[in-house]
Structure 1
Amino acid sequence: MTMSEGTPAMSATTTPSAALLTRRADAETCSDPSSAMTLLADAEGFTSYRSTFAKGATGAPAHFHTRATELFFVIGGSLRVLVGEEVTVLEEGDFLAVPPRTPHAFGAAPGCEADVLFVFTPGMGRFDYLRLLGRVMRGEADPKEIAESSERFDNHYVDSPAWRAALESSA
């Protein structure tokens, strides 16, 4: 590449990041009885995975992250989400960004499946958390391991009366 006049030169201490490509055939998949997660990227700066939720799957309980913003893009179906104390449904094509320290929860909307792309920024080596979650959901690991990992994975569970009420209304 030839630099044109007026284009700032890169500093000797700046190293551009390499592009990251994950082919579908190479992506690891974790599954449990209600969802499948395709692990796409756990890189410096972000973590990304795609989850498909079975019809009415409850998904993640109320929680927050102290450092990460969590991004949701609904590829297909309908995803019920809690943000703060408000419960809403995201439809195909909807995008949501939840900033740090904001309680949130999600699962397939009642009677619906959901296909969602998740991105966390910054990333924090979350694939190990997703693998642990799958083992717990399949009964292969003790749920206490999730509570014990809250600081490591920046995943802090909270009580949400609004989310409990939403789940109870669809039961």
Structure 2
Amino acid sequence: MTETENLTRAAAAETITDGPGSVITLLTDTAELTCNTASFEVGAAGAPVHFHTKATEFFHVTDGLLDVLVGDEIHTLGKGDFLSVPAGVKHAFAPAAGRTAEVFVGFTPGMARFDYYRLLGRVRAGEAGVRDIIDSGPVYDNHYAESEAWAGRPRNAEA
């Protein structure tokens, strides 16, 4: 392997359960690029409305349907769809109502974000609290916001 190469084998990749029906698989976390996959079961909450001041976040759906808020508009992405959200734009994502989703997620530039995902896992396990997530915002460039469009979106197949 060369100095510039970054290899993560599937069998060695760290996985984190950050909420009911949600698993994050950590792939790479360098100054240039942070990447993971996210697997969402039907009804998983996904990521709340937030924005990043320094990084573009991008999504490539590898299976299922994913709702993504960008600004005040919700896009439903299907298998093979790609979307990038520039720094400063509020966004959120979760599986579409009644659906599952498998997503490749990345950030550029990267910024040692894996510890943020680990914090989410500790909150899920009862070892940390929501206040810890809020307080970590400046460290991981994750800033929470509000969205009427996202709050009002259908979350189950009957809606």
Q: TM-score range by the shorter chain?
A: over 0.9
RMSD across aligned C-alpha pairs, in angstroms? 1.6
State how many pairs are aligned.
Answer: 156
SS of 2:11's partner is: helix
SS of 1:20's partner is: coil
SS of 1:166's partner is: coil
Report how far residue 31 of structure 1 moved: 1.0
Report how far residue 44 of structure 1 moved: 2.1
Offset from partner CA, 1:23-47 (integer Å, 9 cap, x none): 0011101113221111000012010
Structure 1 counterpart of 2:34, from 30, 47, 52: 47
Name the CA shift for 1:167/1:133 in 2 (closer, same or farther; >3 Å).
farther
TM-score norm. by structure 1 comes to 0.86
Question: Mind listing any 5+ residue stretches in structure 1 that lack a counterpart?
Answer: 1-15
Question: Mind listing any 5+ residue stretches in structure 2 that lack a counterpart?
Answer: none
Superposition pairs for residues 122-137 of structure 1, below 5 Å? 122-137=109-124
Structure 1 counterpart of 2:8, from 22, 41, 57: 22
The answer (yes or no) to whether the contact 2:97–2:156 under 8 Å persists in 1 is: no
Report how far residue 133 of structure 1 moved: 1.0
Name the CA shift for 1:99/1:20 in 2 (closer, same or farther; >3 Å).
same
SS of 2:153's partner is: helix
Q: Which amino acid aligns with 2:110?
A: G
Query: Is 1:57 matched up with 2:44?
Result: yes
Percent identical:
51
Name the CA shift for 1:140/1:79 in 2 (closer, same or farther; >3 Å).
same
CA distance in 2 between counterparts of 1:28 and 1:50 reads: 11
- Greater CA radius of gyration, 1 or 2? 1
Stretches (4+) displaced over 4 A: 167-171
Q: Which residue of 1 aligns with 2:97?
A: 110
